[in-house]
Each structure stands twice: as C-alpha cells, then as structure tokens.
C-alpha cells in the first residue's frame, strides 16, 4: 500500500504557483521592481529614438519603403514613450509580460521594411530576449528566442532582395547566432531568478521561528513553502527524536495547509525503509522510462560531505521508496543537526522536476530548518517544564508559608487545651496565640500579594531574616541568633527564596531535634552566597540515627543552581549549609 495516496475528488490548491519553472520573479520591496521597469522602459525609448535619429541622419538603410520605415519607427517610439510614462505613474496594471512580445512584433515589421535578413534592426531582438529572460525566467526567454529566430528567418527571407544582393551567409548565420546567444541569455536570466527565489525561500524559513506556533505547524509551513516552490505533489519529513528514539513523520500533500502536517509515529518497519539510504547520501530518483533506461541508471546520488558519488549507492532502495511514496520521481536529502543525521526530507513530483543542483540547495534549506525546529521544540519543552516547576514551587511555598504556621498554631492550641484541662489560667496564652494569628494572617496576605505581583520587595534581607527569627523564637521558645558576614544585599526573587530556605531550616530544627539554641549565618563572597542553619541537638551523637538531608531545602537550592551539605561536629552540633553561586 502506498504511503501517500491522493484523496478522491481532491481539489486543486487555490494558491499561486511559485515554482522556478513557471513562476513570476520573487520581488523584494515594491520600489525595487518599479526601478527595474522604469530602467527597461527608458532604454527601450532611447533605442527607438536613437534608431529614428540615426536613420534620419544616414538613410543608407532602409533602402526601400523609406516612408513606411519612418512611420514604423515613429509609432514604436510613441509606444516606448507610453510604456515609460506608465512606469513613471506606477500603474498597477502595467502589461509587463506583453511588452517584450510587442517589441518582437515591432522589430519584425522593421526587418520586413528594410533589408530582410541583412537588416540592421536584427540586433534589436536581443533586447527583447534579455527582458523576457531576466523578468520571467528561462522558459519565457527561450520562447522569445525561438519565436524571434523562426519569424526573422521567414520574414527576412521573404523580404530580402533577390539575385546577387541576397547574402546567404547572413541568412544562415544570423538565426543561429540569435538562438545561441538567446539561449545563453535565457539560461543566465533563469538562474538569476532561481537564485533570487531560493534566497527568498531561505529567508522565509528563518522567519518561521515563531514561539506562538507548535512544532507541527512550523514544519508544515516549511513543507508548504518547499512544495509550492518546486510544484511538488508531496513533501515528507522523517525525524528521529533522540529522547525516546521514536521516528515521527510530518506529511503535506498538494492542496493541504500547514495545519495538516502533524506528527505521526512511524512503525519501525516503515521507519527503516524511509531511512534505508546511507546517512550522508542524497538521491534524486528520476524514474525509468524506456528511453531513459538506455541512457542512464534512473537515479543520481551525491555524498553530502564530499560532494562525490555515494559509495555503494544503487537505485534498488530508490525503486522501493518510489513505490511506497506512489511517485514517478522524488528527491531525498539527509537532515543534520550538530553533526548528527536525525532524519530525511522527501519530495515527490512528476519526472523532470528535480535536477542535480537541487540537492545542494535542499541541503542548505535543511541546515536552516533544523535549528528553527530545534528552537521551537526547545521552547515548547521549556514552557512545559516551566509550568511544572511553577506548580512545584507553589506546592513548596504553600507548605512553607501556609501549612507550617498552622501546624504551630495547632501545637499552641493543644497546649492551651491541656492547660484548660488542668484548670490553669490560659488568658495570656490565648492572647499570645491571637497575636500569632494576626501576624500569620499578615504573612499570608503578603504571600498572596507576592503571587499576584511577583515576589515582594526585600529592602534589607538581613533585617528581614532577623525579624523572622525573632518571631520564630517567640512562637516556639527557641533561642535563634542571626550572624551576617559581608554585604548580603540580594534581589527580590532571590531574597524570597532564601527566606523560605531559612524558614524551612528552622522548622526542621523544631520538628526533628530537641535543640534549644539555633544559629543562622549569612555569608557572601565574590562567587557565592552561603546560608547556614546550625543547632545544638544533644541527640546528634546517636550513631543509630540515619543522616538526614532536608528535601525541600535541597529542591530550592538546586533550582537556584546551588547545593546543600549537612554536617555534624564532635561537640554535638548539626549544620545545614546552603551554597548558591552568583
């Protein structure tokens, strides 16, 4: 079964073809094309007026129909003046494709009125060929060349003087001369337009890097541009994801939009077939006809690194891939990123569309596409990870800023309940607990404001830590000391994270130790910030206790690029040391 099949009754794409072989030239700024039109129209007018003046000064030619020749030159000069005036007015419907055919018709009239194949107006045909070639490409230039040569031969022979005055050498050489030079002009003009279009396509691929769109849409837009550029039937991009080693395919057929090219997981057997060509081998499979089978092997392969013929390449995989793609011919190039082959690009079309030079260009397109795709994929991953990290941060913030204070209130209320059961006076305890709730509510309001407006400002981080330590010591009967070494000014976001680290450290001392004294040390040097929480836990010499690393503090430190170290001294002190690089 073919991998790509056309849909029954599928509508033709309602887009203007931009292929090299039938396309209008790609324009940059509007003013650039207007300047070209104006220059061409001006040169045409100069040639017409110069011919009229020269014939008037030296009327050796034409040697017959002099009055009609002057009339024809006057009319051609008027036509040139009107065409030039249209370019000055920037007429939007200027008949650009028609003008060079009008030039050819005028030159044929001038040839017929003068000396036929020996006419001096023969050289005017090259002007029309140059215009057609550099405006509309190779095919238009060759059409004008062949039409000019054929009509010049017929009309020149019919109107040339007979007898001894007939110059056979000019009759034979001038059409050949016209075809040979016309072919060169058409070839150069077609290449100029093709290079301009290729440059525009490369710029368009780079501009597709928009983080608002997902990877599928970005790849679909690229495939859509490539398909339209070559007037291909189908475009396929096969990519291997190094994260899960899964092969995915993005496919765009004629008439489909960029949204249609969404990732599809490729079965392993099909993935092996699509990636069966050597990693650095690019191939054009031309398809085999009876005539072609006598002339060549039906395929053209190039080594992407050396530029020579692929060693060991044959058309056997090409035939199988052509059958799978359902195409007469196709081109396939490897896709590289950071020195590794991560997939292949396929384009299928009718015979004769792809040429050997297209391989090098498609390799360049692939080099531009892969960083764009990688950046979009990276942005998607970062956005997903950022959302996950934000959820984890909120969970830690709620644990440290909301749950921990309520646990403290729970302990206080339990103590008050026990005193009431014993008949003791609890008025002072209730008052202290009430003040604690007022302070915690204010803290919760500050936490909510931080979520709405960003982290709250910390004008003096050390003072903020001292206030928090004093409040904690009052609430839990723990002697907390704060010592600062160096200038510990930090930005708002970092200050908020460090405050929560200190909060979690003190909470761990209260919950997991029987310490009565705790010391917070804040240090800063040229390369890092150091926050230490030290306590005098008398149970620290218990060898049966397993080492303990606070998970919440470790997670916050890792988010800031730092690390946590837990150590115990011989005198029974435990220290949690957090180092954050600057």
Q: What is the CATH number of the domain that holds 272?
A: 3.30.450.40
Whether 431 maps to a domain, the answer reads: no
Report pLDDT for 256.
86
Same domain assignment for residues 223 and 333: yes
Report pLDDT for 29.
37
Same domain assignment for residues 371 and 235: yes
Same domain assignment for residues 188 and 220: no
Whether 297 maps to a domain, the answer reads: yes
Report pLDDT for 26.
39
Give the C-alpha distances (Å, rounded to integers) separating 73 from 103, 106, 130. Answer: 12, 9, 21
Whether 535 maps to a domain, the answer reads: yes
Whether 47 maps to a domain, the answer reads: yes
Report pLDDT for 429.
77
Same domain assignment for residues 371 and 462: no
Q: Which of 383, 402, 429 is the last residue of a domain?
A: 383
Report pLDDT for 1.
39
Give the C-alpha distances (Å, rounded to integers) separating 317 from 294, 304, 312. Answer: 20, 18, 12
Q: Which of 202, 237, 263 is the last residue of a domain?
A: 202
- Give me the residues of the chain with pLDDT under 70, please: 1-35, 58-64, 90-95, 115-118, 160-167, 169-170, 208-214, 242-243, 287-299, 304-308, 311-316, 378-390, 392-405, 408, 439, 443-444, 446-460, 492-493, 537-548
Report pLDDT for 167.
66
Report pLDDT for 99.
85
Same domain assignment for residues 303 and 352: yes
Distance from chain centroid for Cα 333: 18
Report pLDDT for 473.
80
Give the C-alpha distances (Å, rounded to integers) separating 556 from 13, 518, 580. Answer: 54, 21, 10
**What are the φ/ψ torsions at residue 518 (nearest 5 degrees)?**
-135, 140
Same domain assignment for residues 169 and 219: no
Question: What whole-number distance in Å separates Cα of residue 121 and Cα of residue 62?
Answer: 10
Whether 119 maps to a domain, the answer reads: yes
Whether 14 maps to a domain, the answer reads: no
Whether 315 maps to a domain, the answer reads: yes
Whether 54 maps to a domain, the answer reads: yes
Same domain assignment for residues 226 and 197: no
Full domain range(s) for residue 72: 30-202
Same domain assignment for residues 355 and 496: no
Same domain assignment for residues 144 and 230: no
Same domain assignment for residues 222 and 362: yes
Question: What whole-number distance in Å separates Cα of residue 280 and Cα of residue 261?
Answer: 25
| pTM of the predicted structure, to 2 decimals | 0.51
User: Order of strands, edge to edge, in the sheet holding 517-524?
Assistant: 479-485, 517-524, 528-535, 574-581, 563-568
Q: Omega of the bond prior to 62 within 30 degrees of 0, cis?
A: yes
Question: What whole-number distance in Å separates Cα of residue 284 and Cα of residue 301?
Answer: 6
Same domain assignment for residues 51 and 142: yes
Report pLDDT for 19.
36
Same domain assignment for residues 95 and 231: no
Give the C-alpha distances (Å, rounded to integers) separating 48 from 54, 121, 523. Answer: 10, 11, 88
Task: Count structural domains, the chain.
Answer: 3
Give the C-alpha distances (Å, rounded to integers) separating 21 from 190, 230, 313. Answer: 8, 8, 29
Q: Which of 331, 354, 383 is the last residue of a domain?
A: 383
Report pLDDT for 129.
92
Q: What is the DSSP string of 527-553?
A: SEEEEEEEE--GGGG-TTSPP---HHH
Q: What is the CATH number of the domain that holds 487?
A: 3.30.565.10
Question: What whole-number distance in Å separates Cα of residue 284 and Cα of residue 167?
Answer: 49
Report pLDDT for 457.
44
Q: How many CB atoms lie within 10 A of CB 517?
A: 14
């Amino acid at each position: 079964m073919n991998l790509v099949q056309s849909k029954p009754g599928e509508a033709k794409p309602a887009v203007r073809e931009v292929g090299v072989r039938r396309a209008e030239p790609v324009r940059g700024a509007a003013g650039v094309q207007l300047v070209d039109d104006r220059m061409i129209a001006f040169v045409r007018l100069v040639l017409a007026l110069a011919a009229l003046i020269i014939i008037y000064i030296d009327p050796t030619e034409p040697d017959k129909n002099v009055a009609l020749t002057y009339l024809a030159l006057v009319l051609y000069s008027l036509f040139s003046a009107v065409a030039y005036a249209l370019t000055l007015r920037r007429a939007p419907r200027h008949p650009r494709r028609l003008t060079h055919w009008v030039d050819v018709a005028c030159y044929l009239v001038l040839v017929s009125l003068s000396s036929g194949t020996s006419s001096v107006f023969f050289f005017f045909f090259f002007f029309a060929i140059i215009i057609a070639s550099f405006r509309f490409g190779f095919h238009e230039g060759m059409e004008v060349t062949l039409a000019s040569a054929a009509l010049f031969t017929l009309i020149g022979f019919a109107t040339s003087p007979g007898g001894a005055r007939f110059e056979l050498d000019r009759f034979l050489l001038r059409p050949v001369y016209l075809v040979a030079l016309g072919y060169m002009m058409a070839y150069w003009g077609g290449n100029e337009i093709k290079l301009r279009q290729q440059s525009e396509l490369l710029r368009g691929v780079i501009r597709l890097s928009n983080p608002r769109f997902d990877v599928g849409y970005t790849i679909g837009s690229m495939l859509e541009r490539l398909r339209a550029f070559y007037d291909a039937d189908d475009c396929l991009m096969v990519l291997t994801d190094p994260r899960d080693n899964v092969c995915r395919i993005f496919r765009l057929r004629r008439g489909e939009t960029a949204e249609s090219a969404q990732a599809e997981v490729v079965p392993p057997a099909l993935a092996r077939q699509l990636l069966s060509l050597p990693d650095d081998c690019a191939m054009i499979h031309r398809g085999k006809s009876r005539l072609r089978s006598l002339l060549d092997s039906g395929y053209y392969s190039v080594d992407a690194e050396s530029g020579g013929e692929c060693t060991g390449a044959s058309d056997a995989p090409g035939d199988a891939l052509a059958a799978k793609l359902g195409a007469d011919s196709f081109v396939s190039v490897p896709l590289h990123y950071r020195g590794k082959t991560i997939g292949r690009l396929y384009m299928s079309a009718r015979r004769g569309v792809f040429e050997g030079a297209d391989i090098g260009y498609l390799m360049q397109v692939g080099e531009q596409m892969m960083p764009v795709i990688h950046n979009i994929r990276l942005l998607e991953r970062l956005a997903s990870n950022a959302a996950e990290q934000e959820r984890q941060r909120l969970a830690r913030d709620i644990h440290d800023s909301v749950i921990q204070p309520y646990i403290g209130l729970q302990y206080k209320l339990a103590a008050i309940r026990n005193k009431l059961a014993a008949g003791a006076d609890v008025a002072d305890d209730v008052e202290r607990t009430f003040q604690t709730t007022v302070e915690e509510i204010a803290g919760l309001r500050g936490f909510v404001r931080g979520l709405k407006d960003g982290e709250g400002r910390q004008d003096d981080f050390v003072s903020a830590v001292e206030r928090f330590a004093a409040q904690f010591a009052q609430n839990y009967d723990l002697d907390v000391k704060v010592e600062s070494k160096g200038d510990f000014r930090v930005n708002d976001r970092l200050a908020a994270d460090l405050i929560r680290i200190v909060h979690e450290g003190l909470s761990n001392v209260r919950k997991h130790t029987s310490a009565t004294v705790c010391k917070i040390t804040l240090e800063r040097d040229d390369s890092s910030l150091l926050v230490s929480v030290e306590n005098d836990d008398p149970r620290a010499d218990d060898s049966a206790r397993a080492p303990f690393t606070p998970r919440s503090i470790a997670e916050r430190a890792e988010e800031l690029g730092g690390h946590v170290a837990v150590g115990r001294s011989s005198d029974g002190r435990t220290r949690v040391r957090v180092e954050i690089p600057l």
